[in-house]
Structure 1
Amino acid sequence: MLILEFMAVAVSAVYGSLMAARARMDFVGSFTIAFLAALGGGSLRDLILDRHPLFWIGQPYYPITVFIICIIVPFLIKFISRIKPILLYPDSLGMALFTVVGTKIALDAQDSNFIAVLLGTITGTFGGVLADIVCNEVPSLFRPAPLCATCAFCGAWIYVFGAMLCWEGPLLISVSVIFIVIFRIAAVVFDWRFPSVRQPD
């Protein structure tokens, strides 16, 4: 799970750094957005579960990884003509990895299945929410937009049901992550979304 969590941090940091570059932020802004995207959801999960220290304090190479990625990404951006189209891929993979990690941590804490799924969804999505807010954007989670949290929510249930069936760890992780990534990309490509609760007058 540490390897899985490290991958989630790294991929989400790339996503946050690309978001900051798209908003034309400097290095401090890039590190802030990448930090929130990579570590925000897991921090909120740990606070809810009263886990101490927070996961990135207990594993101090996580914020160091975010810092290094923020140094590297600007050198790679000059080879990318448009940033927005590629944001979907690190966003989807980071969300999927963090969702599985969060769900497993909640299950290991003896939480109920539904609570574990909620905490997995929070872990997978709220880093992006915090990054969107700091970038002065309404998070896609809270407005009519291609499905995001729903993908994490469904993928977390797959992990829970697989755990109940005693599937082996690597198989269960792979199935859950692949499902979330494909679901999220398909939601964006085919514009699957929920309607707004109240339609405009």
Structure 2
Amino acid sequence: MLQEIEILGIVVFALSGIAEAQRKRMDLVGCYAVAFMTAFGGGTLRDLLLDRTPLFWVEHQEYAILVLVLTVLALLFPAFTRIPERWLVLPDALGLGLFSVAGAAYAQAAGTSLFVAAIMGVITGVFGGVIRDVVCNEIPYVFRNTHWYATCAFLGCLLYLVLDAAGVAAAIALPLAVAGITLLRLAALRYNCRLPGGEV
């Protein structure tokens, strides 16, 4: 189940990277590079910090091939990725949940503490988007004074880790945590939940 969650997260984040690269009018190489960094940036940093080798996308070359296929298809059929930004809210929230929980689970398996595992989950879910925004010459979304984003990932990762510590089966704890992050992110957008600071 953890690998299936990881694959879904890769697909969602790769598509968000492709969409952003297309808005910047990049070619195939540019779109693939941005999609690659968006899909694998957070997991790569997680693996480096946890000293996990080989890196998850090196171990599973099919992940990188999948992103390439998605990129080619997106360029052949651009209408499928040129969609209004408001329609990307749900896929983005779902991708955040998928990657964050997967990252926390991998960190937990590596023997980290509960707090560190939750932080690793946030890094996995957020850092790919940071790289995407920097490469596309944007202020990283997670660093702007916007609605809860990393906060949702952190709380959802804690939920998974607490459920796991309580003996709840992974088949239940993982989907619950993903759903928790996704719903919390959507609620933050709906009810304008923001962290203090950043206003002038």
TM-score normalized by structure 2? 0.93
Contact 1:18/1:87, CA 8 A, preserved across alignment: no
> How far apart, CA to CA, are the structure 2 residues paired with 1:7 and 1:191?
27
TM-superposed deviation, 1:85: 1.7
Q: Does the residue aligned with 1:78 lie in a helix, a strand or coil?
A: helix
Task: Could you tell me which runs of 5 or more consecutive residues in structure 1 were left unpaired when the two chains were aligned.
Answer: none
Letter in 1 for 2:161: V
Unaligned runs of 5+ in 2: none
Cα displacement string for residues 158-186 of structure 1 (whole angstroms, at most 9, x for unaligned residues): 00100011111121111101111111122
Q: Is 1:102–2:89 an aligned residue pair? A: no
Greater shift in the superposed pair: 84-93 or 111-120: 84-93
How many residue pairs match? The answer is 199
Deviation at 1:7, TM superposition (A): 1.4
Matched to 1:35, the amino acid is F
> Which structure 2 residues correspond to residues 186-197 of structure 1 after superposition, within 5 A?
186-196=187-197
- Does the CA-based 8 Å contact 1:22-1:83 persist in structure 2? no
2:125 is the alignment partner of 1:124: yes
Distance 1:183 1:169, change over 3 A: same
Letter in 2 for 1:12: F
Distance in 2 between the 1:82 and 1:2 partners?
28
SS at match of 2:197: coil
Q: Distance in 2 between matches of 1:7 and 1:111?
A: 25
Give 1:9 shift: 1.0
**For 1:6-25, what aligned pairs fall within 5 Å after superposition?**
6-25=7-26
Q: What is the RMSD of the two structures over their aligned residues, measured on CA atoms?
A: 1.5
TM-score normalised to structure 1 length: 0.93
The question of 1:166 aligning with 2:167 is answered yes
Structure 1 Cα separation of the partners of residues 140 and 72 of structure 2 = 26
Are residues 1:5 and 2:6 paired?
yes
Q: CA deviation at 1:157?
A: 0.4
Q: Does the residue aligned with 1:11 lie in a helix, a strand or coil?
A: helix
Maintained 8 Å contact 1:143/1:196: no
Secondary structure of the structure 2 residue equivalent to 1:152: helix
